[in-house]
Chains A and B, each alone.
Chain A
Amino acid sequence: EPEVTQTPSHQVTQMGQEVILRCVPISNHLYFYWYRQILGQKVEFLVSFYNNEISEKSEIFDDQFSVERPDGSNFTLKIRSTKLEDSAMYFCASSGTPDYNSPLHFGNGTRLTVT
């Protein structure tokens, strides 16, 4: 079964550094998402992306965050200047269509640790 692939599985960075989290969505999917889960908290929506544009973003997704689809297969999340509170599990997801017949498929996540 096709799956969403995320790299790296674990990223350690120092506060203030830039990080890029990478995702390869399922190949025929057109809608892409980032979610995150801070330890002990709920999984929460960050951003949705379609047709090379952000469709919607949460209040968490401030100017420090950006997303990009640099080529036909990758989807990235960049955090420009990491803060301690950015430490979390970041999940990429994709879907074929934005309707009831196409639930989100999630990757295994990247654990980001900011020291």
Chain B
Amino acid sequence: DQQVKQNSPSLSVQEGRISILNCDYTNSMFDYFLWYKKYPAEGPTFLISISSIKDKNEDGRFTVFLNKSAKHLSLHIVPSQPGDSAVYFCAASAYGNTGKLIFGQGTTLQVKP
């Protein structure tokens, strides 16, 4: 099942710089997209979401961009902090079924001090 793909398994960024995490999807019926962060031995923690009627959503240091024509979304973290080091999952749902999420495989972000 490759409906949601995160092609970069890892990303390393210097503290204070921008982190950009990418996600591609194939199902044109997806209408809701989310980013979750996961620390070791913990469950995924919700970060930010966007519905398909928008192309940008911002919450503090986190901004999600959605490009429907390219079936691509990205998460920008500015400025990056060492505490942001975690695995980031992109997830999507279709037909308004917001409880059934299709996850990407995750990108491990390391923010270096």
A-B complex is real: yes
A95 interfacial contact with B, CB 8 Å = yes
Q: Note all chain B residues with C-beta closer than 8 A to A107.
A: 43
Asked whether B99 lies within 8 Å of A31 as measured between CB atoms, the reply is: yes
Q: Note all chain B residues with C-beta closer than 8 A to A42.
A: 1, 103-106
Using A42-B1, A42-B105 as known contacts, say yes or no to A103 and B100 having CB atoms under 8 A apart: no
Enumerate B64-108 residues with CB–CB distance to A below 8 Å.
89, 91, 96-106
Enumerate A33-88 residues with CB–CB distance to B below 8 Å.
33, 35, 41-45, 48, 55-56
CA separation between A48 and B49, bound complex, in Å? 20
Interface residues on B, range: 20 to 34
Q: Note all chain B residues with C-beta closer than 8 A to A31.
A: 99
Q: Is the interface of A mostly helix, strand, loop or mixed?
A: strand
Q: Which one of B43, B49, B98, B105 contacts A106 once the chains associate, using CB atoms below 8 Å?
A: B43
CA separation between A107 and B41, bound complex, in Å? 10
- The chain B residues found within 8 Å of chain A, CB to CB, are 1, 32, 34, 36, 41-46, 49, 51, 89, 91, 96-106
* Closest 8 A/B residue pairs (Cβ): A106-B43, A43-B103, A103-B46, A108-B43, A48-B99, A106-B44, A42-B103, A108-B42
